[in-house]
């Protein structure tokens, strides 16, 4: 998933790099975390009962965030709006 986001946090107000080099030339450090855009289970943040189980578990319901923004998203409903700017930014970086 991180490759789909150009290794950057999907929060449009952040954009932090989520992976980088280590002293070992064969490894990298990862500070990114996957999150659901809409909650996966009843009672979870941003859960939408109108979605099917397949829709909730689909890659289109996932977002890549830095660990700081992931913690913020767990506390609020903001991530549902972040996936559109992320896709536009990813296309600009690649093209």
**For residue 66, what are the β-bridge partners?**
32
The pair of structure tokens assigned to 8 is: 């950057």
The more confident residue out of 64 and 87 is: 64
Model pLDDT for residues 22-33, shown as the tens digit of each residue: 999 999 999 999
N-term to C-term CA, the chain: 19
Q: How many CA atoms lie within 13 A of 61 on its CB side?
A: 16
Average pLDDT, integer, range 71-95: 56
pLDDT(53) > 90: yes
Angle 72-42-35 from CA coordinates, rounded to 5°: 35
DSSP 45-59: TT--TTS-HHHHHSG
């Amino acid at each position: 998933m991180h490759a789909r986001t150009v290794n950057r946090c999907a929060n449009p107000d952040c954009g932090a790099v989520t992976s980088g080099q280590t002293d070992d030339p064969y490894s990298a450090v990862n500070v990114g975390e996957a999150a659901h855009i809409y909650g996966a289970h009843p009672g979870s943040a941003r859960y939408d009962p109108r979605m099917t189980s397949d829709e909730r578990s689909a890659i289109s319901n996932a977002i890549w965030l830095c660990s700081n923004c992931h913690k913020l998203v767990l506390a609020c409903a903001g991530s549902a709006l972040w996936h559109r700017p992320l896709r536009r930014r990813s296309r600009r970086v690649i093209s």
